[in-house]
Structure 1
């Protein structure tokens, strides 16, 4: 991959509505976990969510846009506002700027509310703007409209790999010469009663009386995911253009790969082989002289599920096990829950923060690391040490495997 600079960052999350707050709370090991509105219903006992609190859409967009968007898109717009402000570009070249946003669930809230309204009130209870609120492409579309952009406009939906694939797709557009700048990232706000009950009935959620143990990535005892929500958006830019205008460069996107497990609708291949191959291909795409030895640390997908974590453990062991210097690994899902379409881009921000600080963010909720892990899972507090190059994983239902390689310089 040619040099692609990361020049802007923005995030809306359960642990912060801006990048500084988000990163500080990651380093501090902060956990955002609270009850769902339906905590005592069948299948949702002792189930926790990591919710975005005190978010006011009108702080980030005018009331007309807020009224016509579902929370998943509102979060994306707010994150994009931050990213554009931080990148310092005042006037985009409209046809040379792409928007690529990933989402897994899109507008579930407006659909659920409209169905409830239909049941209770009849047709008048249905939101007349349901289509423009619910469709997955509306997050990207609203961002393009906000800045009057006319370049490539794409929406990626690859389950929980969506934002990794969105960023990788945006990078390929820059590589191909289709654009010079891309606004890329991911978002989700799947917090409806029906989706949570379905996840609980499918055995995905972690029923724990202690919210701080709701999600425990790579822990010996782990029971499932904690639902999350939010958005992350970054600005990708041709490195030569970013340097020429004196932009602050947060890091460089070096490599990307996306492969299929081809195994099961909801389970990773238990041998981890295609997750390992995806990571390997991203490293090959990055052209690292030392290959896997040049990767200092990894923000893992790390959901805290019994089967998902063991597949990723095996994948990491296959690729990085036995190194003289053990790979540092963290997952941020114990902090913010599983943010689905936003998970990968939030992980990327955690990687950039770790490299900048020279200290790997810890894995919240984890106290007793699975002995199968042949790598250093960072827990309890940040792990200090120089971090030049990091990898970020995103795996999802349907066999989606995606990985990015980023570097500080």
Structure 2
């Protein structure tokens, strides 16, 4: 059974459509700016990859804008873009949805508790619970479109988006659906989240928004929080051909595993990342040397970046001299679950266009990172037939998805 992509959608700090996101990414633009959503004067971090120029009522009925937290709005908007591109992929009872989100409605929870604690309000809205639960992002899409197929919510930290793709594939392979919308969506910009990550020494404290996220660079000091939504419509090749849909790319393979090592740190030898990439290659029925491009997890953390690059060398060996390895997070920040989908879209667009987007802010490669083809600060032209997207997360979560040019 061959699985293919027929629709894509994206809401990102670089733009609120796939084309806008891709064009700005290739141009080397940065979507990270000073935080505007709340007062950061007492916070150690003041920059993030916020969504800009997003008017919810342009993407959904006004009633829904009051019922959904921003993390749901971003996913909903991305899903509608993907569905519009794909067309009606399956009958309602054969159409599934898988949403990935690491933190759900964390902002709404913290904001509500804050006004209660300060005595500003004494009551909680009846919309509170539906606005914070992760699965409601999928439910709102299903309600809007009348879907009655399987619906699952994946919460595997920063691997949630990649795992949403893998879970969607498994549902189709198991005969539970003919097509599935895979979504990754996140809006975790809140003071409490910033303070928690700062205490864990995970976030960059660089005050310059344009330079704060710098994957693989010797001057990086942590990741930058990003937000957004991404969506793919996945279906069988047979189903897509039967209805005359345009096939964008093929999903060749996927894998998920855990390090079994630590609640936040990756295994120092990258054993989980290595195993995950190897199993994805095996699942795709290809050889390591068939992979032309990897969009890495590449978050700009001092610990994570060298481990991932070392794992790539251990899996791909001498072939790394012929492939490109980049990170999109210098431009978007770390969008967590949303990044797993938008970075998959990056792989698909690289296959479609023959362009590998740059790793921005990579001015001086950290000597601890392997010497790979990172496309520093400038996009490169390269024929890409096979691309891999990596997403690794807290708890030792690992996800790898492989895409192929459809032929």
Identify the TM-score tier after normalising by the shorter chain. Answer: over 0.9
Match of 1:334 among 330, 334, 350: 330
- 2:303 match: 307
Q: Distance in 2 between matches of 1:176 and 1:41?
A: 51
For 1:209, the equivalent position in structure 2 comes to 207
Structure 1 pair 26–257 and aligned structure 2 pair: CA distance change class (3 A): same
Return 29-38 or 189-198, whichever deviates more. 29-38
Judging changes above 3 Å, is the alpha-carbon distance between structure 1 residues 324 and 160 closer, same or farther for their aligned structure 2 residues?
Answer: closer
State how far apart, in whole Å, the 1-side matches of 2:84 and 2:49 are.
Answer: 27
Structural RMSD (CA): 1.4
Report if the CA contact (8 A) 1:369-1:377 is conserved.
no
Structural mapping, 1:9-408, within 5 Å: 9-36=8-35, 37-44=38-45, 47-89=46-88, 92-121=90-119, 124-288=122-286, 291-323=287-319, 325-371=321-367, 372-408=369-405
8 Å contact 2:291–2:386 — kept in the other structure? yes
Deviation at 1:177, TM superposition (A): 1.0
Residues 5-53 of structure 1, C-alpha deviation per residue, up to 9 Å, x if partnerless? 1000011111111110000011001101212233331433xx3101001
Structure 1 contact 114–127 (Cα < 8 Å) conserved: no
Deviates more, 1:122-131 or 1:135-144: 122-131
Q: Conserved in 1, the CA contact under 8 Å of 2:30 and 2:330?
A: yes
Measured at CA, do residues 324 and 76 of structure 1 come closer, stay the same or move farther in structure 2, by a change above 3 Å? closer
SS of the aligned residue for 1:98 comes to strand
Question: Structure 1: how far apart are the matches of 2:132 and 2:100?
Answer: 14
Task: Show structure 2 runs of 5+ residues with no match.
Answer: none
Gapped regions of structure 1 (runs ≥ 5) = none
Structure 1 residue 341: Cα displacement: 1.1
| Distance (Å, rounded) in 1 between the aligned partners of 2:379 and 2:285 | 28
The one-character-per-residue Cα deviations of 1:309-346 (angstroms, maximum 9, x if unpaired) are 11101111111132274320111111110001111111
Shift of 1:76: 0.7
What is the CA deviation profile of residues 176-229 of structure 1, one whole-angstrom value per residue up to 9, with x for unaligned ones?
111100001200000111111221222111111322221111112211001100
Provide the C-alpha distance between the structure 2 equivalents of 1:38 and 1:125, rounded to a whole number of angstroms. 24
Is the 1:223–1:304 Cα contact (8 Å) retained in structure 2?
yes
TM-score normalised by L of structure 2: 0.96
Question: Aligned-pair distance for 1:354?
Answer: 1.1
Distance in 2 (CA, whole Å) between partners of 1:194 and 1:120 is 16
C-alpha deviation, 1:122, in angstroms: 5.7
Give the distance between the partners of 1:321 and 1:22, measured in 2 at CA. 32
Query: Quick check: 1:321–1:374 contact (8 Å CA) kept in 2?
Result: no
**Partner secondary structure for residue 121 of structure 1:** coil
In the alignment of these two chains, the number of paired residues is 403
Tell me the CA shift for residue 383 of structure 1.
1.5
Q: Secondary structure of 2:254's partner?
A: strand
TM-score (norm 1): 0.96
Query: d(CA) in 1 for partners of 2:404 and 2:249?
Result: 6
- Cα drift, residue 369 of structure 1: 2.2
* CA offsets 1:279-301 (integer angstroms, 9 cap, x no match): 0100100001xx10000110000
User: CA contact under 8 A between 1:115 and 1:126: conserved in structure 2?
Assistant: no
Q: d(CA) in 2 for partners of 1:41 and 1:201?
A: 14
Separation (CA, whole Å) in 2 of partners of 1:292 and 1:52: 36
